[in-house]
Amino acid sequence: MAKRVKTDIGTAAAVLDFDTELMLRVKEGDGASFGVLLEKHRSSLVYFLYRMMQNHAVAEELAQEVFLRVYRSRSTYEPTAKFTTWMFRIATHLALNALRDGKNERAQDRLDDDTSDMPVRQVSDRRPSVEQSMVYRAKLDEVRRAIAALPEKQRVAVLMHKYEEMEYSQIAKVLSCSESAVKSLLFRAYETLRARLAHMA
Amino acid sequence: MGNPGNPVERLMAMPPEKREQVLEKLPPQQQANLRQRLERFDKLPAAERARLNQMWSTFNSLPPEKQAIVTRQMQAFNNLPEARREDLKPVLQRLRRMPEDRRNALLNSPAFKDRFSATELEMLTDISQNYPLPGR
Amino acid sequence: MNCPLDTRENTQLLLDYCTRKLEPDSVAILERHIAICAACRELARGQRAVWHALDAWEAAPVSADFDSRLYRRIEAQVPWWTLVVRPFRPPFRTVTLWRSLPALAMACLLVVAGVVLERPAGAPAPAATDRAQVDSVQPEQVEHALDAMEMLNEFSRHVRTDSPDSKL
């Protein structure tokens, strides 16, 4: 690559918490840094919200609201926590409110028909047969129902632990509780999931 | 979202006569080629242009040596046969989202190594380590 | 070692083991225990099954127009005239012009401040440093930036199914 144009963002890359640096630059009026944060976290945020709400349109709507709130808060932003902790805290708050408001009230109905746009896993270069696809979709349906049946906080904890690969300490910060409370939530959640899904081995 | 750091945007923001002065520094053939590429860029919808600017910003935030590694491996990935690219795609996505310690553990595990050729392993390692997705 | 089924803490150990978060030393100890404890073996098997079952649940790709919709919302969220004028509406209607002048002046000031502060980042005010950068741009830098964007765009298109096919 040719001679690199040195930017402030370039300097920030060397700092450990890159996201916080980026957010501080957004606070200073650097719109491009907001774009970098969006590019980095768009997918994981939408996926988390999708698994929470089990409705793709609602998940994207909520993810937009999260980014909008991040952008609106730029002038008052203080790096008191990791950027992702802050972002997921906003997302969790919005998702739990939306669930209570019944925004995903059709989600349970959709469990039956919303799997058509899900990527079907492929083993190596072999395309799955119709039968394999049906088995996969049945399993997927069972997984989604099992997750949906978990109490809200247990669901958040499992999704962050399993899919976002967050440490207990970060989940605790997102949920504003102790690490031992998170472990307890996960213990109960996985116990329930084992009872429902262990036969899928 | 503008990107004043991107040389393409900086050139586009110049008054026409200044832009000409920059372009005229190139030999005629190269100049014509660049004009064509700039015209294509200028015609992109605003959202698409913003997306490209964002990707460039992320890439440009890397130190030069990492930019070189990422460039080499991304070009190699882009040139893979489609079927193989499809196989590597979910693996790469997952690796790019992983925290560093877990990614390294996976990349170094014998079971993982068995699934890919040495070149592919190097590609997966270089891209996921130098161009990860979410920062946690 | 106690049987993990006996205490919650030890079940946590087993959970960490199944999710590959356990330190190698603890893994060795736990594996020795699992070899002789049928209950723990069953728990570990069940947890691994859950883990694999959850692995199967992939989310659908993000819509291609996600960013453009967000940027539209960001740019549309600048109702500065509403925010500024609304608090001053009653005085405009009820007091004489001279009494409303300070409020009007304040409103104008806030409008200017609002425009400066809420200026969409897509149209940033050209700063002195930007101007210096503009003056120093070289054609090779432009070519390389285009090369990089083309490569990144192609890579993004390959790895993310939600990425639109750019005409770049």
Of A38, A64, A144, the CB nearest to C73: A64
| CB < 8 Å to C76, chain B | none
Establish if B22 belongs to a structural domain. yes
Give yes or no: residues B54 and B69 share one domain: no
Residue A192 CA: distances (Å) to CA of A158, B1, C68: 11, 46, 40
Q: How far is the alpha carbon of C54 from chain A, nearest alpha carbon, in Å?
A: 6
Q: Is C16 part of the contact surface with chain B (CB cutoff 8 Å)?
A: no
- Domain positions in chain C are 8-55
Query: What values do phi and psi take at B14, rounded to 5?
Result: -75, 155
The answer on pLDDT for A184 being more than 70 is yes
User: How far apart, in whole angstroms, are the C-alpha atoms of residue B58 and residue B46?
Assistant: 18
Ramachandran bin of A6, using left for φ above 0, alpha for ψ from -120 to 50, beta for the remaining angles: beta
User: How far apart, in whole angstroms, are the C-alpha atoms of residue B14 and residue B24?
Assistant: 14
| CB < 8 Å to B93, chain C | 159-160
Q: Which amino acid is at A184?
A: S
The confidence score (pLDDT) of residue A3 equals: 35
Q: Is A83 part of the contact surface with chain B (CB cutoff 8 Å)?
A: yes
Which residues belong to CATH 1.10.1740.10 in chain A? 9-112
Q: Is C96 part of the contact surface with chain B (CB cutoff 8 Å)?
A: no
Give yes or no: residues B87 and B116 share one domain: yes
Establish if B46 belongs to a structural domain. yes
The answer on pLDDT for B39 being more than 70 is yes
- What mean pLDDT is predicted for residues C106-115? 47
Is the Cβ–Cβ distance between A143 and C54 less than 8 Å? yes
C30 or A172, greater pLDDT: A172
Give yes or no: residues B52 and B102 share one domain: no
The confidence score (pLDDT) of residue A131 equals: 72
B65 or C129, greater pLDDT: B65
Burial A135-167 (b: 16+ CB within 10 A, else e): ebeebbebbbebbbebeebbbbbbbbbbbbbbe
Q: Which of A40, A70, A122 best probes binding to B when mutated, by most B CB atoms within 10 angstroms? A: A40
Q: Residue B22 belongs to what domain range?
A: 7-60
Q: How far is the alpha carbon of B70 from chain A, nearest alpha carbon, in Å?
A: 10
Mean pLDDT over each residue of chain A, to the nearest integer? 80
The confidence score (pLDDT) of residue B135 equals: 39
pLDDT interval class at C2 (50, 70, 90): low
Of B2, B45, B74, the CB nearest to C124: B2
The answer on pLDDT for C104 being more than 90 is no
Give yes or no: residues B89 and B49 share one domain: no
The confidence score (pLDDT) of residue C141 equals: 87
| CB < 8 Å to C130, chain B | 4, 10
Q: Which of A1, A74, A121 best probes binding to B when mutated, by most B CB atoms within 10 angstroms? A: A1
Cβ-defined contact of A193 to C73 (cutoff 8 Å)? no
Q: Is A41 part of the contact surface with chain B (CB cutoff 8 Å)?
A: yes
Q: What is the DSSP string of B31-65?
A: HHHHHHHHHHHHTS-HHHHHHHHHHHHHHHTS-HH
Burial degree of C123 (CB within 10 A; 0-12, 13-18, 19+) = exposed
- What mean pLDDT is predicted for residues A175-191? 92
The confidence score (pLDDT) of residue B23 equals: 92
Chains adjacent to A (≥3 CB pairs closer than 8 angstroms): B, C
Cβ-defined contact of A36 to B63 (cutoff 8 Å)? no
H/E stretch holding B9 reads helix B7-12
User: What six digits make up the tokens of A21?
Assistant: 């640096």
The confidence score (pLDDT) of residue C96 equals: 34
Is the Cβ–Cβ distance between A57 and C65 less than 8 Å? no
The confidence score (pLDDT) of residue C124 equals: 31
The answer on pLDDT for B101 being more than 50 is yes
- What mean pLDDT is predicted for residues C107-130? 41
Q: Is B64 part of the contact surface with chain A (CB cutoff 8 Å)?
A: yes
User: What six digits make up the tokens of B117?
Assistant: 């050729």
Cβ-defined contact of C167 to B47 (cutoff 8 Å)? no
The answer on pLDDT for B41 being more than 70 is yes
| Domain boundary, last residue among B60, B80, B102 | B60
Give yes or no: residues B74 and B111 share one domain: yes
- What mean pLDDT is predicted for residues C100-112? 46
- Cβ of C133: how many Cβ atoms within 10 Å? 18
The answer on pLDDT for C136 being more than 60 is yes
pLDDT interval class at C81 (50, 70, 90): low
A129 or A115, greater pLDDT: A129
The answer on pLDDT for C6 being more than 80 is no
Q: Which of residues 5-44 of B touch A (CB under 8 A)?
A: 5, 7
pLDDT tens for residues A149-174? Answer: 999 999 999 999 999 889 899 999 99
The confidence score (pLDDT) of residue C62 equals: 86
H/E stretch holding C163 reads none
Q: Which amino acid is at C91?
A: P
pLDDT interval class at B1 (50, 70, 90): very low
H helix intervals, chain C: 8-18, 24-36, 38-55, 66-76, 80-85, 89-94, 97-118, 128-135, 139-159
The confidence score (pLDDT) of residue A84 equals: 92
The confidence score (pLDDT) of residue C87 equals: 43
The confidence score (pLDDT) of residue A192 equals: 94
The answer on pLDDT for C19 being more than 60 is yes
Give yes or no: residues B80 and B104 share one domain: yes
Q: Is A7 part of the contact surface with chain B (CB cutoff 8 Å)?
A: yes
pLDDT interval class at A117 (50, 70, 90): very low
Percentage with pLDDT > 70 across chain C: 53
pLDDT tens for residues A12-61? Answer: 333 347 888 889 989 988 888 888 889 889 989 999 999 999 988 899 99
| CB < 8 Å to C149, chain A | none
User: How far apart, in whole angstroms, are the C-alpha atoms of residue A30 and residue A15?
Assistant: 17
Please give the angle made by the CA atoms of A142, A43 and B72, to the nearest 5 degrees: 120
pLDDT interval class at A85 (50, 70, 90): very high
| CB < 8 Å to C159, chain B | 89, 92-93
| CB < 8 Å to B92, chain C | 159
Q: Is C58 part of the contact surface with chain A (CB cutoff 8 Å)?
A: yes
The answer on pLDDT for B69 being more than 90 is no
Percentage with pLDDT > 70 across chain A: 77
User: How far apart, in whole angstroms, are the C-alpha atoms of residue B19 and residue B12?
Assistant: 7
Give yes or no: residues B71 and B99 share one domain: yes
Chains adjacent to B (≥3 CB pairs closer than 8 angstroms): A, C
A12 or C65, greater pLDDT: C65
Architecture of domain A9-112: Orthogonal Bundle (1.10)
Which residues belong to CATH 1.10.10.10 in chain A? 128-201
Burial degree of C134 (CB within 10 A; 0-12, 13-18, 19+) = buried
Give yes or no: residues B41 and B68 share one domain: no
Establish if B76 belongs to a structural domain. yes
Give yes or no: residues B70 and B119 share one domain: yes
The confidence score (pLDDT) of residue A1 equals: 39
Residue with tokens 């429902």: A196
3-class secondary structure, A123:
strand
- What mean pLDDT is predicted for residues C18-43? 84
Of C59, C66, C73, the CB nearest to A47: C59
**A86 DSSP assignment:** H
User: What six digits make up the tokens of A53?
Assistant: 């709400």
User: How far apart, in whole angstroms, are the C-alpha atoms of residue C124 and residue B37?
Assistant: 25
Q: State the total domains in chain B.
A: 2
CATH fold of A128-201: Arc Repressor Mutant, subunit A (1.10.10)
The answer on pLDDT for C158 being more than 90 is no
Give yes or no: residues B126 and B69 share one domain: yes
3-class secondary structure, A126:
strand
